[in-house]
Structures are given as structure tokens and as C-alpha cells.
Amino acid sequence: MTDVTEGLWPYPRPDSPPLLTPEQAEHTLNVWLVSRFSMLTLFCLLEPLRVANRFGRDLFAWRLLSADGEAVVASNGVRIDVDGAIDSLGDTARLMVVSSYDAEATVRFQDRAVLRRIAAHGGWLGGLDTAPFILARAGVLSGYRVALHWESVAAFRREFPDLEVSPAHYEMDDTRLTGSGGAAGIDMMLTWIEQLYGPALVDAIGLQLVHQRPRGGEELPLRHGELPRSVMRALAIMEANLGKALSVPELCRLVGQSQRQLARLFQRHFGETPQQCYLGMRLDRARQLLADSQSLVTEAALATGFTQPAHFTRAYRRRFGEAPSVTAERGQG
């Protein structure tokens, strides 16, 4: 996992980056649009990737595909041109299926064969809304927890009693991703981006999309399961003390956990130390104050526990790529 926000581009890029080709991007997401797919689901899937390119470097490209390479009509009647047919995909492609009404009406035997070929070679397969039906009928979901739109759960359980249906909005594994569609696609993509590039980039994307992810529980499945109670308690204490800047020993005392053990748990779940996580939360709050409430830089610094302006400015610039005064000017404007 790398931090792509530090020292590479202004925060954010002054203009929206151009659409990237697979050759230009570090990761490419192929999206199979099934006839009458949900436009909302497609937008929620792609927008986090677009914004990630704005705040990072050239990270993500996407290709829209159909079964036959022809344009597809969404459930709202909008016709979408595509970049190709799904049978053009390589054996280890990363493919997300997006469908909604009548998920299987236009899916052919040869289309399911493409899914089985990708699965057999260890490829990355996902499905949103009703698309888990397509994946399950292709036989590529065995052994995986499945999340899908709540209206389809009863029918899915009847047809696939051997598959475990999850109450979560989405489920992520190394090679399988399923979700309920709609806004859940934002959270799914943010989690994927966080696994690749860390929380700082994801926080920036969330602010840009005016979207706040829920913490823990069924709404935000974690790759390693639910957060340990000590980690959740530490996060709650941090959030309640953004203006005090507790020391790590004091934080550990309040949590009832050794520094070494708490650091190990934070590294496992977030890829950073408790101190780094706490600093990031305080800086994010400072940025909110500067951008949304017309606070002065000194007021935002003091409100988030920074007593030395120089330290605050350095930390802020490292996280966001600009001086806090620049954010403040934008907020006042």
C-alpha cells in the first residue's frame, strides 16, 4: 500500500484529469453493462475512481463492455456506448458486472463461459445489484459470502441455498466482490482504493464526493472481519478528543491496551499507527473547519490540538498538498 497524495500533485489537480487508457493507469476496471442496468450503480462505481485520479496520480482506468460490443440501454432509458465485448477480456481480467431488472434475460451461455474462464485463471470478478445471480448461475461464487439488493435476497436464497447471503451492503474478498448496488458502490470502491493506497487518499475522495463512510458493522465489511473492540474504543476516544491531542500512552491507558498491541492492530486494519490515524483525524477536522466554517488558520489549528502553527502547517501540507491558508481562502470565497 502506497501513499499517492504526498509530494506528487497539487491537492487536488487544478483541472479534472483526462480519461485514462489501460496502458496509462495502474489499475483498470472492466464493467459489463447488462441490459436495463442501474445508472445510479454505474455512477457510484466509477466516480470514486475518477476523483482518485484527481487527487492522486494516474491510478485508474475503466472500460465499459457489453455482451456483443453494442450500446446498452439502462433502466432509465439512457443509451450508453461501450468500448468492446466481454469476450475480448484476458484470462486474468478485473470484471465488474452491473445489472438490475431482468438480470438473466439477455445473458447467453457464452457470456457465462467468459466468467468461468476468468474465475478458472484467478481473475477478479464482481457483481452489483442483481448481478450476483449472473455470477452464481455461472458457478463462480461457491465458497464466498454474497451481498445483493435486498429485494432479491429471498429469490436468491431459494435458488442458491448452498451460498451464504450476507446482510452487508457489500462483501469483498481477494477475487470476489458483490454488493447491493446504488450508493453501496461508493463504499465498495473506497474500500478497494484504501487497500491499495491508504486512508489519506480515501478521505480526500470522500470529502470531494460529500460522502462519509460508516464505521464497522454490517454496513462497512472489513477485509479482516469486524474491528476489535479495543480498536473501536480507540477510534471513539480519538474522535472525542480531536481538540486535545492525547499522547499515545494516555490513549492506550484509556483503551486498556498496550502500546505494542494497539499499534499491531492498527497496522493490521488500517496500515498505519494509532498516532498516524489520530493525526489524520485531527487534520481532517481542521480541513473541514477551514473549508466549511470560514475559520481562521490559527482557530482551526487550536481547535484540533495544534499549539505550534509551524507544526500544523507542515502536517497539513503533507496530508493535503497545500497550505491551510489556501484551504481557508477557498472556504472564505
Residue that has been written with the C-alpha cell 480515501 in this structure:
202
pLDDT at residue number 56: 66
* Angle of CA points 277, 238, 218, to nearest 5°: 80
Phi, psi of 53 (to 5 degrees): -65, -30
Per-residue pLDDT tens digits for 138-181: 999 999 999 998 878 878 888 899 999 988 889 998 899 999 99
Domain boundary among 136, 171, 204: 204
- Please indicate, yes or no, whether residues 44 and 174 belong to a single structural domain of this protein: yes
C-alpha neighbours within 13 Å on the C-beta side of residue 15: 3
- Please indicate, yes or no, whether residues 58 and 89 belong to a single structural domain of this protein: yes
Helix (H, G, I), strand (E, B) or coil at 296: coil
Separation CA 124–CA 115 (nearest Å): 10
- Please indicate, yes or no, whether residues 184 and 233 belong to a single structural domain of this protein: no
DSSP state of 220: S
Assigned domain for 141 exists: yes
**β-bridge partners, 62:** 29
- Please indicate, yes or no, whether residues 190 and 276 belong to a single structural domain of this protein: no
User: How many domains in the chain?
Assistant: 2
Query: Mean pLDDT by 10-residue block, N- to C-terminus, for the chain (333 residues)?
Result: 49 59 91 94 93 83 95 93 94 93 83 95 93 94 92 84 90 92 91 88 82 50 58 86 89 92 88 90 84 76 91 91 85 58
pLDDT at residue number 230: 87
pTM of the model: 0.63
Rg of the chain on CA atoms, in Å: 22
CB 87 within 8 A of CB 56: no
- Please indicate, yes or no, whether residues 263 and 180 belong to a single structural domain of this protein: no
pLDDT at residue number 164: 93
Q: Where residue 253 sits, what CATH number does that domain have?
A: 1.10.10.60
Per-residue pLDDT tens digits for 283-293: 988 887 887 65
